Structure 1
Amino acid sequence: MRAAMLKDVSKKLLYTSGLLGLYHRLRNAGSLTVVMFHRTLSPDDPRWATCDPEYTLATGWLEQSLAFFRRHYNVVSLEQVLASRRTGAALPKRALLITFDDGWADNADYALPALERAGLPALMFVVADAVGTRQPFFQERLIAAWRRGAVTVREIAVALPSGEASAASSEEESIAGLRAVIARLEALEASVRTQVLAPFMTRLDDGHRHMVTVDELQRLQAGGVALGLHGKTHTPMKLATDLDAELSGARVSLAQQLGQAHASAESMSFPHGSFDAGIAQRAREAGYELVFTSVPVLNPTAPDVGWLLGRTGFETDAVVDARGRFREDWLALYLFRRQARRLA
């Protein structure tokens, strides 16, 4: 306990002394940091009680994160990154791009106003088929249902195909146990997974709307949030049976929903971080000028920005301690020390 307290105090001193900030200013001047958010909700919102706590920031924590970015980085837009890629235009020192994955309605409800108050641009990667739907992806539905007591880990585990069920039935009744069962569900063929979850679907519906609508997408764009794609169905690209649909099809689908004559999205990110070199090249050939991964590296900006970019995930436990306090020192240590590496 004493060693942990001393370590925590040392982190605070390293940050408050300014030494960590100086290290960042010198070391990361020629890098583009890309951060990856998912959801942000007010604790007063009825969706807060059952959201996935690992990937959802309370609105206050998001606002503190944005203030941190303003202090330590020069936040850039998608257009600035594209311009660097296309023309070699220099990005500012310690550039940072803010991204959001999936296309959650709460990004329009809460993230957009916070971004507007901070005067910061961002980029949202949208799952094309999720636009306008009410319920989220099966992983989030399961977590929400478990958190409100509508399902148990064991009953989901025993519903798995025989071999998987016997292995998963011993998982503990905890969110860690649930995530282990979800991982087994993710590995199943889509048709088999649908069959396994069919008896639970009524209990998995929480009655709330979670995914962004076309009107909200247009409001986000008007507020300075650019739109990219996150696949057509949120299927991991390595498991996709129709990769063209997940890449080119997603662009066409989103353009049609937005009333555009031609697919215009210049960027995409890989669902679940699933990709390989061949898939990345296919994405480039599908018309995406910038392709974002979940590889947690900083991106060199000289002589220009690469087309395949790393991103650093923004999980709650990276910035919030056990007492629910936002920790700038943790965030600084988490972001400033990342390796800088060109992915392609």
Structure 2
Amino acid sequence: MFSDLFKKLLYASGALGAYHRWRNARTLTVIMFHRVLSPDDPRWARCDPDYTLRADLFRQCLEFFTAHYNMVDVQAVLRARRGEGVLPDRALLITFDDGWRDNVDFALPALRSLGLPSLMFVVSDAVGRREAFYQERIVGAWRQGRLDAAGLAQGLQRVGAPPAEMPSDNGIATLRRLIGHVERLEATVRTRLLADLAECLDDGTRQMIDAGELHSLLEGGVAIGLHGKTHTPMTAATDLDAELGGAREEMAARLPADRPPTTMSFPHGRFDDAIAQRARDAGYELVFTSVPVINPTHDGRLGWLLGRLGFETDAVADPQGRFRPDLLALYLFRRPGRVLA
């Protein structure tokens, strides 16, 4: 209780804000979101809570950003990278990963009402697809009681890839360990497993954006970048050229000729130095990671490989679900700064 009170007083006093204005003056903070939903939306009951923010909390985060940062669009970041301009003090760029339809339904209206730009990294093959990524479908089926950890382990057994130990509980941590096992399967084996579980995994709802919504996002101030072709981790991709250059060509064909995609982020945050360089060679001017650092801009220039800060609900809300700006300030204002490349 005393710890919570101290955090609230520290924020209310203005001391945290003053520290931030001094410490992070010459920086670019990049925020990473995934899904934004309202609890009264049917998709809420099936989403992965670790990657989903309640719509009202999302708007309060936006209001917090506008109070403490200078909001920028990706074009301003590109100009700074090219040496054609300088970012303002305490610059902040909002990004989204994957290409969820709920970003159009809930995030876009909030952004437009506040006049804020953003950048969405879209999985090329997911555009127009109804079903979510298999990890999300497994979590959704588990949340609705259609699949438990034992059932997933039995499915792995049926395709000849049983886990080392059968699950002893049905908790989310156990489920995530089994999902990790699914991720490591050879692609054809994983396809058989998902086909075997298809009935319980299918929620009957279109989850991903379509081509028309891509244009709605552009009109609403949301720039489009790439998040790979298939959402496969780049470190596990069998065709890296397709995931990088191929995805860029596919997305360019869907976008206006004057807005070719020049940015990307790594699916699942996985990459190495060689993959980052391959992305740069494929024509991406800015490459975004999930490395949780703030990007320094002390010399007026900016690196091409950028860190991003993501957070879960407990970083912005108390156990009762009430927005806590002090928690968000303590999380964001103290993150380390580092040039990645």
The change in CA–CA distance for 1:103 and 1:171 in structure 2 (over 3 A counts) is farther
How far is 1:263 from its partner?
Answer: 8.4
Question: Does residue 36 of structure 1 match 2:29?
Answer: no
Query: 2:241 & 2:139 partners in 1: Cα distance?
Result: 30
Instruction: Tell me which residue corresponds to 1:251.
Output: 248
Question: Does residue 167 of structure 1 match 2:192?
Answer: no
Instruction: Tell me which residue corresponds to 1:74.
Output: 70
CA contact (8 A) 1:41 1:58 kept: yes
Aligned length: 339
1:161-220, Cα deviation, whole Å (9 max, x unpaired): 589634242252022221111111112222121122221112111111110011111000
Instruction: Tell me which residue corresponds to 1:116.
Output: 112
Match of 2:177 among 175, 180, 199: 180
CA contact (8 A) 1:51 1:140 kept: yes
The change in CA–CA distance for 1:96 and 1:185 in structure 2 (over 3 A counts) is same
Instruction: Tell me which residue corresponds to 1:52.
Output: 48
Match of 2:221 among 224, 237, 242: 224
Query: 2:137 & 2:235 partners in 1: Cα distance?
Result: 23
Match of 2:311 among 292, 310, 314: 314
CA contact (8 A) 1:128 1:254 kept: yes
2:248 counterpart letter in structure 1: R
Query: 2:74 & 2:237 partners in 1: Cα distance?
Result: 27
CA contact (8 A) 2:149 2:167 kept: no
Query: 1:247 & 1:268 partners in 2: Cα distance?
Result: 9
Moved more, 310-319 or 130-139: 310-319
1:126 counterpart letter in structure 2: V
Structure 1 length normalisation: TM-score?
0.95
1:109-145, Cα deviation, whole Å (9 max, x unpaired): 1111100011100000000000000110000001111
1:213 counterpart letter in structure 2: D
Match of 1:266 among 242, 255, 262: 262
Match of 2:234 among 233, 237, 240: 237
Query: 2:223 & 2:189 partners in 1: Cα distance?
Result: 36
Query: 1:144 & 1:171 partners in 2: Cα distance?
Result: 20
2:18 counterpart letter in structure 1: L
The change in CA–CA distance for 1:263 and 1:238 in structure 2 (over 3 A counts) is farther
How far is 1:87 from its partner?
Answer: 2.1
SS in structure 1 at match of 2:82: helix
Instruction: Tell me which residue corresponds to 2:134.
Output: 138
CA contact (8 A) 1:54 1:317 kept: no
Instruction: Tell me which residue corresponds to 1:6.
Output: 2
Query: 2:123 & 2:185 partners in 1: Cα distance?
Result: 20
Q: CA RMSD in A?
A: 1.5
The change in CA–CA distance for 1:41 and 1:218 in structure 2 (over 3 A counts) is same
Where do residues 279-318 of structure 1 align in structure 2 (5 Å cutoff)? Answer: 279-303=275-299, 304-318=301-315
Query: 2:60 & 2:331 partners in 1: Cα distance?
Result: 15
Question: Does residue 210 of structure 1 match 2:207?
Answer: yes
How far is 1:28 from its partner?
Answer: 0.2
How far is 1:321 from its partner?
Answer: 2.2
CA contact (8 A) 1:320 1:326 kept: yes
Query: 1:261 & 1:328 partners in 2: Cα distance?
Result: 41
How far is 1:50 from its partner?
Answer: 1.5
Query: 2:191 & 2:213 partners in 1: Cα distance?
Result: 29
Question: Does residue 16 of structure 1 match 2:12?
Answer: yes
Structure 2 length normalisation: TM-score?
0.96
SS in structure 2 at match of 1:99: strand
How far is 1:257 from its partner?
Answer: 3.0
Match of 1:127 among 114, 117, 123: 123
Instruction: Tell me which residue corresponds to 1:91.
Output: 87
Query: 1:29 & 1:88 partners in 2: Cα distance?
Result: 20
The change in CA–CA distance for 1:85 and 1:328 in structure 2 (over 3 A counts) is same
1:242-288, Cα deviation, whole Å (9 max, x unpaired): 00000001111112233x56982110000000100000000000000
Moved more, 155-164 or 145-154: 155-164
**Runs of 4+ in structure 1 displaced over 4 angstroms?**
161-164, 260-263
Instruction: Tell me which residue corresponds to 1:155.
Output: 151
SS in structure 2 at match of 1:40: strand
Instruction: Tell me which residue corresponds to 1:62.
Output: 58
